[in-house]
Amino acid sequence: MQDDEPLTNALSEIFAQCETRGMKQPFIICIVSPNGSVIALRCVSGSAPEVLAEHNEGDRFPAPLGILVLDQSGKAVKFGVDRRGRPQLEPTGRAAAPSGRRPRRRRQK
């Protein structure tokens, strides 16, 4: 996606889906490209996004993109955006402990 318009449209649709799911602004958004480019943004409706972190590989941010949205309560959703700028909600799961078992709880003294 060399043009910003498909990404802008995808983000608008993603924000709408997040709000429909009851997520609360401000949103922290991390956008990752297969070439290693990454940008993290803080977004609030009606304001320009604030860039929190950014790394670019070359002059492009090619699709498909992975987009993670985190709201102020810690709720997170993940989207994929294809080369045409169409967002798709992706399933998320809880990460397992490295051994596949639940981590042990520490005893309190």
Query: pTM for the full model?
Result: 0.78
User: Whole-angstrom Cα distance, residue 12 to residue 6?
Assistant: 10
Query: What is the per-residue pLDDT across 8-58, written as a single tens digit (0 to 9) for each?
Result: 889 899 999 999 999 999 999 999 999 999 999 999 988 999 999 999 998
The contacts of residue 74 (CB under 8 Å, 6+ apart) are none
Per-domain boundaries in the chain: 4-90
